[in-house]
Structure 1
Amino acid sequence: MSLISKFATVGGATMVSRVFGFGREMLMASALGVGPVADAFNLAFRFPNLFRRLFAEGAFNAAFIPLFSRSLEEDGSEGARRFASEIYSTLFAILTVFTVVAWIFMPFLVQTIIAPGLAYCVDEEIGAQALSCAARFDITVTFSRIMFPYLACMSLMAMVSGILNAFRLFFAAAAAPTVLNFVLIGVISYALMMDYDKATTGFLMSWGVLASGFLQLAIVVIAMRHARFSVSLRMPRWTKGLKRLLVLAGPAALIGGITQINLFVGQAIASFKPGAVSILQYADRPYQLPLGMVGVAIGVVLLPELARALKAGRLKEAQHTQNRSLEFALFLTVPAAIALFIIPEPIIRVIYERGEFEPTATPLVASVLGLYALGLPAFVMMKVFQPGYFARENTRSPMIATMISAVANIVLSLALFQVMAEQGIALATTIAGWLNAGLLFWGLYRKGLWEIDRQLMKRCLLVLVCAGVMGVSLVAMMWELGDWLDPNDAVATQVLAILILVGVAMLVYFALAFATGAADRKLVMGLVRRRRPKP
């Protein structure tokens, strides 16, 4: 299977998950709107979901896959099974203790880490909101306790996914997160049908998150068994392999999850303003679709490919793989970023504006989405640059870059929140993303680990030109279709207008890309017609 085919396999499965995620967020917006219950659910879910993104989307794999692959090569299947069982048993024990401690001290965690703003809330601030400050705090603690074991499920799932990825079996791990969206869509639909109040709906959604965690873990375990590999629980022991994994996994988790860390920090700061947490979450969903399709696919597939090339001493192949991956990333994310920046409000209105989601919330969410969009290429580029370090078992350099950008994000979020509210948090996240991507690239380039070829330079410039022309055409079409995009028009008319905007924009961009050579025809054909592996 070609590199592009692997990107397509993981990206396609992730795209399905993100599309159903749209459905989930649309139903949630209709059921909860922008308010205290939505804030409580998003705050409670963000903490375990942070760990899901840290581990499941490549960070744990960045440490585990090279060690597991080495064990498989040097010690055979039995040695690899022994190593995997050691890691699984230790991880299971740590997560069990961590979950019990978190249950006990959850009020403290909510007050200090998850939602510090609730500690400074006074009832006069929330005015017509349905819940008092004490009730908002209590419901956030309750939701957090219910959902916290989801963290353990996702961490164990990440390890099993790493085993599957090491065997070049990408689909099950990429498809499993879709279960969360299926379960929550079902739960919210049931709550709407039964006309439950917001608090009860949030309570049921929290249990749905927990149930989906066990289901996702079961899916990857079954896939691992089908691959004729298994792990067993045993008494945890301190071994050389475990020590090496911890040395690599800690920095890798921090590095790989910078996007989610930034969002988590942003939501913690946003908890000082009622409704801001929900606004950030609703804006995050459209932004996550292209990020998931391209960024996650590259992060999962590129690391094993680079590791194999470097171990075999094929340095030119490694350089070619890195350049083509960056080319592929920019080819898809630059036009997506421009489109989301230009037309965020019509998109948000069509997706969310119904039920409990008031029209006054649409421009607030749209402005945040537009600022998030400006950082989209940076966050995907980070997924391309990070494997260049991980494949060489170097986590120190990218960890330093990540810490610098994380500090910048916190400082900027605190400063900009005072003058721009939730928009300031979005802008800080975007600036920190570009800072991190720049530091990662400079580290590789300075050490001679990345050689930019002429093909990459040429196509990157052409992509910018083509995307710029597409952006101009979008602005012109919005002017022509202004009446159709009027908020007072029927939803069907607005949807048709957006489809026309997106369709024409794609036509303009891809036509220019093929005509100018910004698109690699072989690359695009590889997405459409995958090459089968030779027997």
Structure 2
Amino acid sequence: MNLLRKFATVGGATLVSRVFGFVREMMMAAALGIGPVADAFNLAFRFPNLFRRLFAEGAFNAAFIPLFARHLEEGGEGSARRFASEIFSTLFTALFLLTVLALVFMPALVSSIIAPGLAVCVDEAGAAQALSCAERFDITVAFSRIMFPYLACMSLMAMVAGILNAFRRFFMAAAAPTLLNFILIAVLLWGWHTGAMTVEIGFLMSWGVLAAGIAQLALVTFEMHRMGFSVAIRRPRWTPGLKRLLVLAGPAALIGGITQINLFVGQAIASFKPGAVSILQYADRPYQLPLGMVGVAIGVVLLPELSRALKAGHLREAQHTQNRSLEFALFLTVPAAVALFLIPEPIVRVIYERGAFGPEVTGAVAAVLGLYALGLPAFVLIKVFTPGYFAREDTRTPMFITGFSALANIVLSLLLFWQLAEQGIALATTLAGWLNAGLLYWGLRRRGLWESDRALVKRTALVFLSAGLMGGALMALLTVLEPFLTPQAGLAGQLAALVLLTGIGMAVYFAFAFLTGAADRALVKRLFKRRGRPAA
């Protein structure tokens, strides 16, 4: 399986998950709008998600896979199994203790870290409110307690998924997150069928998140056993392998979770304004579709490929892999960013505007989505650049870079929030993302770990040219289709107009991309020939 097909495998599975995530967010927006229950659920869910990215996905994709691959290459499956069992046992014990402490001290965590705005909330005299400040605080604590064990399930799942990825079994680990969307969609359907109140729906969704975590862990564990690999739970011991993992994983945890750190900081600050947390969350979903499809695919596939190439001493292959990955990232994310920046309002209206999500909210979410879109290429580029450090077991350099950009995000968010509200947080996230990507690239170039070939430079320029031409076509079409993109046209009319608008935009982009050579035509032809070849 070549590199492009591996990206397609992981990206396709992630795309399915993101599409169902859209359906979930659409239903949630209709059921909860941007009210206090939606804010409480989003705040509570973001916290375990942050730690999942920091101490599970980010750390293990960056630290565990290269070490596991070394044991696999040098000592065979037996050595790899012993190493994995050591790490699994320690991780299991640490997560159990962390979960117990979090459940006990959750009120303090909510008031100081998760949602400090709720701790200083003051009820407006004489104002009609769905929930008082104290009630908003209490349900946020309750939702957080229910969902926090999801962190443990997903952290253990991330390790098992890392084992699958090291064996180049990418699909099941990428497909497992879809279970979360299936379960929450079922919960929302049940709430609609029974006519449940918003608070009851929030509790049902919180329990659904926990059930989804258990189901995802079970799915990847079954796949690991099916391929004939297993790990054992033993008494945790301090070993050289564990020490080396912690040395690498500490910085890698910060680096791998930079996007979640930025979003978490933004939501914590946004908790000072009612509804702002939900606005950020709803804007994040359309932006996460291309980011997940391309960024996650590159992050999952590129690190194992680079690690194997470097361990084998194939430096030319490693350079080629890095350049083609960057090419692939820009080819798909630049046009997506242009489209999301130019036409966010029709997209938000078609996805969300129904039920409790009224027209007055559409403009606010669209404005945030447009600002997020400007940072989309940056966050995908971070996924391309960081494996260049991780595959060489260097996590210190990107740790300092990521820490600096995270600090910049906090400062910018605090400064801009009081002027631009949730739009200021989105702008700060975007600026911090570009700062991070730029510093990572500069570090690789300065140390001679990245050499851009002529094909990359040429195709990058042509990608931006093709995306610019597509943007011009979108703006021209928007003036023609504008009457059909308003609420008066109905959902069916708006959806048809949006599909036509994006379809023509995509056709323009891909036509220019293939005509100018922005896309590697020879590579695409080989891919389709290989797919069309009958199995032997």
Q: TM-score range by the shorter chain?
A: over 0.9
Say if 1:525 and 1:144 are closer, same or farther in 2 by CA, change over 3 A: farther
Cross-structure match for 2:497: 497
Unaligned 5+ residue runs, structure 1?
A: none
- How far is the alpha carbon of 1:312 from its aligned partner? 1.4
Cross-structure match for 1:152: 152
Cross-structure match for 1:137: 137
2: distance between equivalents of 1:416 and 1:127? 28
2: distance between equivalents of 1:379 and 1:193? 39
Cross-structure match for 2:92: 92
Cross-structure match for 2:63: 63
2: distance between equivalents of 1:520 and 1:185? 39
- How far is the alpha carbon of 1:79 from its aligned partner? 1.8
2: distance between equivalents of 1:533 and 1:111? 60
1: distance between equivalents of 2:454 and 2:125? 57
1: distance between equivalents of 2:56 and 2:248? 16
2: distance between equivalents of 1:430 and 1:25? 22
> After TM superposition, which residue ranges in structure 1, 4 or more long, deviate above 6 angstroms?
532-535
Which letter maps to 2:419?
A: V
Which deviates further from its counterpart, 463-472 or 65-74? Answer: 65-74
2:417–2:424 Cα contact (<8 Å) kept: yes
1:49-69 CA-partner distances (Å, limit 9, x unpaired): 123334565541210011111
- How far is the alpha carbon of 1:482 from its aligned partner? 1.2
2:58–2:255 Cα contact (<8 Å) kept: no
Say if 1:87 and 1:125 are closer, same or farther in 2 by CA, change over 3 A: farther
1:424-482 CA-partner distances (Å, limit 9, x unpaired): 00000000000000000000000011011111111100110110010011001000111
Report the TM-score, using the length of structure 2 for normalisation: 0.98
1:157–1:217 Cα contact (<8 Å) kept: yes
- Residues 1:33 and 2:30 aligned together: no
Say if 1:394 and 1:504 are closer, same or farther in 2 by CA, change over 3 A: same
1:88-146 CA-partner distances (Å, limit 9, x unpaired): 01000000000000000000000011001101101118944300000000000000000
- How far is the alpha carbon of 1:253 from its aligned partner? 1.2
2: distance between equivalents of 1:56 and 1:472? 42
Cross-structure match for 1:229: 229
Cross-structure match for 2:13: 13
- How far is the alpha carbon of 1:291 from its aligned partner? 0.3
SS in 1 for 2:435: helix
- Residues 1:116 and 2:116 aligned together: yes
Cross-structure match for 2:247: 247
Cross-structure match for 1:395: 395
Cross-structure match for 1:198: 198
Cross-structure match for 1:292: 292
Which letter maps to 1:216?
A: Q
2:416–2:424 Cα contact (<8 Å) kept: yes
1:305-320 map, 5 Å = 305-320=305-320
1:115–1:268 Cα contact (<8 Å) kept: yes
Cross-structure match for 2:364: 364
Cross-structure match for 1:185: 185
- How far is the alpha carbon of 1:80 from its aligned partner? 1.3
Say if 1:198 and 1:126 are closer, same or farther in 2 by CA, change over 3 A: farther
Unaligned 5+ residue runs, structure 2?
A: none
Structure 1 vs Structure 2: percent identity of aligned residues?
Answer: 74
Cross-structure match for 1:380: 380
- Residues 1:171 and 2:171 aligned together: yes
1: distance between equivalents of 2:215 and 2:526? 33
- How far is the alpha carbon of 1:78 from its aligned partner? 1.7
1:270–1:422 Cα contact (<8 Å) kept: yes
1:483-511 CA-partner distances (Å, limit 9, x unpaired): 11122221111101100110100110000
Report the TM-score, using the length of structure 1 for normalisation: 0.98
Say if 1:107 and 1:342 are closer, same or farther in 2 by CA, change over 3 A: same
Which letter maps to 1:18?
A: R
2: distance between equivalents of 1:470 and 1:322? 27
SS in 1 for 2:484: coil
2: distance between equivalents of 1:530 and 1:91? 41
Cross-structure match for 1:107: 107
CA RMSD of aligned residues (A): 1.5
Give the length in aligned residue pairs: 535
- Residues 1:217 and 2:198 aligned together: no
1:58–1:300 Cα contact (<8 Å) kept: no
1: distance between equivalents of 2:489 and 2:534? 51
Cross-structure match for 2:415: 415
Say if 1:10 and 1:530 are closer, same or farther in 2 by CA, change over 3 A: farther
1:1-57 CA-partner distances (Å, limit 9, x unpaired): 000000000000000000000000000001100110000000000011123334565
Say if 1:114 and 1:530 are closer, same or farther in 2 by CA, change over 3 A: farther
1: distance between equivalents of 2:502 and 2:530? 26
Which letter maps to 1:336?
A: A
Cross-structure match for 1:72: 72
Cross-structure match for 2:260: 260
1:30–1:354 Cα contact (<8 Å) kept: yes
Which letter maps to 1:428?
A: A
2:58–2:254 Cα contact (<8 Å) kept: no
2: distance between equivalents of 1:308 and 1:66? 8
Cross-structure match for 1:83: 83
- How far is the alpha carbon of 1:526 from its aligned partner? 5.7
1:243-268 CA-partner distances (Å, limit 9, x unpaired): 10011111111101101110000000
- How far is the alpha carbon of 1:530 from its aligned partner? 5.0
SS in 2 for 1:484: helix
Say if 1:479 and 1:110 are closer, same or farther in 2 by CA, change over 3 A: same
1:166-200 CA-partner distances (Å, limit 9, x unpaired): 11100111000000000000001100111100000
1:335-390 CA-partner distances (Å, limit 9, x unpaired): 00000000100110110011111110000000000000000000000100000000
SS in 2 for 1:519: coil
1:327–1:459 Cα contact (<8 Å) kept: yes
2:57–2:155 Cα contact (<8 Å) kept: no
Cross-structure match for 1:303: 303
Which letter maps to 1:465?
A: L
2: distance between equivalents of 1:520 and 1:33? 44
1:330–1:460 Cα contact (<8 Å) kept: yes
2: distance between equivalents of 1:460 and 1:496? 32
- How far is the alpha carbon of 1:147 from its aligned partner? 0.2
2: distance between equivalents of 1:436 and 1:300? 20
Cross-structure match for 2:346: 346
